[in-house]
């Protein structure tokens, strides 16, 4: 058996939602309706990790990463809830792996595959994504760092009791230079 990465089809959204329900507290889990709308609006941003043999058609979904697009350069409630087609920020809603398959590097490999597909789509010119944004709790910051995300800072978004931290993976090198310049200016103004 191997892990295969495929975009999650409309037929597999229910399975993805079952993983969501087994991965997040009830008040944090997104509804099935939300899942259906994300898959319908941005199917190329909903990537699944499937268990099975590539030659057979029987694949079992064991994890996913799912995003929508926003023109916002930072994550806000609005950028997390409204998909704006042809925008430059890929806003990750969730990464989840079925509990029995965790701590086997499946999420790490899924995230690397996801970023590689986003970079390829940019290189082909079919999209113009500039960055991937996500919110993380403290305990998963090192996980996201290990797959290429940089720490931005504490987020204003409130959802549940624990604080959220914004993290970013830059896809457009020009944006990277711009961000660094802004950060350096901010730091020098604040005397750090
Ligand atoms: C977070 C999650 C996606 C990680 O999936 P995974 O396949 O187990 O992750 P990996 O095996 O690729 O982990 C790689 C490394 O990241 C870190 N890591 C993974 N899960 C972690 C956790 N729950 N807490 C702290 N560090 C973690 C570890 O350093 C791990 O390496 P190790 O196993 O050698 O210690 C999975 O635990 C999950 O679905 N959790 C519930 C949903 C969730 O919280 N999603 C993230 C917010 S959207």
Query: How many whole angstroms from its chain centre is CA 18?
Result: 18
Ligand 1 touching residue 103 (CB < 6 A)? yes
Per-residue 3-state assignment (H helix, E strand, C coil) for 149-164 = CEEEEECCCCCCCCCC
**Residue whose token pair is 């350096």:** 184
**Closest residue by Cα to residue 74 from 140, 161, 142, 165:** 165
Superfamily of domain 2-189: Gcn5-related N-acetyltransferase (GNAT) (3.40.630.30)
164 CA to centre of ligand 1 in angstroms: 16
Burial of residue 13, with CB atoms counted within 10 A of its CB: 0-12 exposed, 13-18 middle, 19 or more buried: buried
Ligand 1 touching residue 23 (CB < 6 A)? yes
Per-residue tokens: 82: 């409204």
User: 18-55 pLDDT, tens per residue?
Assistant: 999 999 988 889 999 999 999 999 999 999 999 997 77
**Which of 80, 102, 106 gets mutated to test ligand 1 (max ligand atoms within 8 A of its CB)?**
102
**Residue whose token pair is 């790490």:** 108
106 CA to centre of ligand 1 in angstroms: 9
Please say whether the beta carbons of 52 and 58 come within 8 A: yes
User: 67-81 pLDDT, tens per residue?
Assistant: 999 999 999 888 888
**Which of 115, 143, 157 gets mutated to test ligand 1 (max ligand atoms within 8 A of its CB)?**
143
How high is the pLDDT of residue 148?
97
Atom of ligand 1 nearest to the CA of 63: 39
The Cα 111–Cα 91 span in angstroms is 13
How high is the pLDDT of residue 51?
96
Ligand 1 touching residue 25 (CB < 6 A)? no
Ligand 1 touching residue 3 (CB < 6 A)? no
Which parts of the chain register pLDDT below 50? Answer: 186-192
Atom 1, ligand 1: residue with shortest CA distance: 96
Spell out the residues 6+ positions from residue 129 whose beta carbon is closer than 8 angstroms to its own. Answer: 69, 88, 89, 90, 118, 121, 122, 171, 172
74 CA to centre of ligand 1 in angstroms: 24
The Cα 63–Cα 133 span in angstroms is 19
0.85 exceeded by the pTM? yes
How high is the pLDDT of residue 181?
54
């Amino acid at each position: 058996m191997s892990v295969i990465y495929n975009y999650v089809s409309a037929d597999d959204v229910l399975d993805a939602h079952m993983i969501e329900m087994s991965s997040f507290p009830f008040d944090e889990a997104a509804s099935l309706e939300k899942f259906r709308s994300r898959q319908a609006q941005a199917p190329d941003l909903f990537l699944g990790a499937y268990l099975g043999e590539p030659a057979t058609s029987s694949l079992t979904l064991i994890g996913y990463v799912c995003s929508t697009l926003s023109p916002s350069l930072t994550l806000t409630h609005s950028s997390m809830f409204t998909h704006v087609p042809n925008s430059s920020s890929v806003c990750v809603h969730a990464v989840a792996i079925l509990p029995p398959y965790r701590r086997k590097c499946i999420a790490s490999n899924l995230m690397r595959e996801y970023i590689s597909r986003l970079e390829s789509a940019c290189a082909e010119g079919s999209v113009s994504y500039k960055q991937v944004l996500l919110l993380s709790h403290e305990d998963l910051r090192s996980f996201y760092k290990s797959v290429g995300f940089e720490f931005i800072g504490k987020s204003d978004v409130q959802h549940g009791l624990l604080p959220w931290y914004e993290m970013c993976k830059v896809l457009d090198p020009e944006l990277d230079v711009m961000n660094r310049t802004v950060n350096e200016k901010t730091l020098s103004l604040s005397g750090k």
